[in-house]
Amino acid sequence: MISQASLNEFKEIYKQQFKEEISDAEALKLATNLLNLYKTVYLTQNNQLNQTNKAEKFKHNKKL
């Protein structure tokens, strides 16, 4: 859940960027979509990093 303070901050940033005010409902929808996008990208990157680390450990252990 997004706090009211975070929602207000998002609305202020949106207003600065787009010169347009939005409702709390619209801000909540947009902020939630942005967070979901961030989580998707982060988890994808994190998963790729973990797979790379596992492959490196496997190579290292195979050499021993």
pLDDT digits over 9-47, tens only?
999 999 999 999 999 999 999 999 999 999 998 888 777
For residue 16, being part of any structural domain is answered with: no
Q: Specify if 54 maps to a domain.
A: yes
On the 0-12 / 13-18 / 19+ scale of CB atoms within 10 A, 22 is middle
Residue 43: the pLDDT is 84
**pTM of the full structure:** 0.67
Q: Are 57 and 36 within 8 A, CB to CB? A: no
How far is residue 37's CA from residue 16's CA, in Å, rounded to a whole number? 21
The pLDDT of 34-61, averaged and rounded, is 77
In a domain, 48, yes or no: yes
d(CA 26, CA 53): 40
Q: Which domain holds residue 57?
A: 22-64
Residue 4 lies in a domain: no
55 within some domain: yes
Give me the pLDDT at residue 58, please.
Answer: 64
Hey, what amino acid is at 23? S
| Tally of domains within the chain | 1
End-to-end CA distance of the chain: 48
Q: Is the pLDDT of residue 6 over 80?
A: yes
Length of the chain counted residue by residue: 64
In a domain, 5, yes or no: no
